[in-house]
Amino acid sequence: MDTKNSVFTAKNDKGESKTYEIIFKFDSEETKKSYIIYTDNVKEKNKLKVYANVYDKTGRSKELLPIETEKEWNTIETFLSKLEGEVNEEKA
């Protein structure tokens, strides 16, 4: 898991360039893919808007690929739930 915060610029769904902050990167042995979780720091209903995509950790391709299966979404949700649990334990 890579927790190094950095930023990148990409075009959103409307073709506008936006700056995003990387929250986490992680690899899944189950899906054999690398995932990036990031935000544009916009809040909706008092919650930070977060995005997730597949990325090429070798750096050969800079393209972010969509999450294609329910299994992948479950992998990401499990990762985020574990992370939230760790954060809550640290706060206790």
Is the residue at 46 inside a domain?
A: yes
Is the residue at 17 inside a domain?
A: yes
Is the residue at 2 inside a domain?
A: no
Condensed to tens digits (0 to 9), the pLDDT of residues 3-51 reads: 445 998 888 778 889 999 999 999 999 999 999 999 999 999 988 889 9
Coil, helix or strand at residue 74: helix
The structure tokens listed for 48 are 């930070």
Q: Tell me the mean pLDDT in the region 44-72.
A: 92
Q: How many domains does the chain have?
A: 1
Give the residue numbers spanning the domain of 13.
7-91
The answer on pLDDT for 92 being more than 70 is no
CA–CA gap between residue 38 and residue 7 (Å, rounded): 9
Chain-centroid distance, C-alpha 71: 16
Which pTM value belongs to this model?
A: 0.80
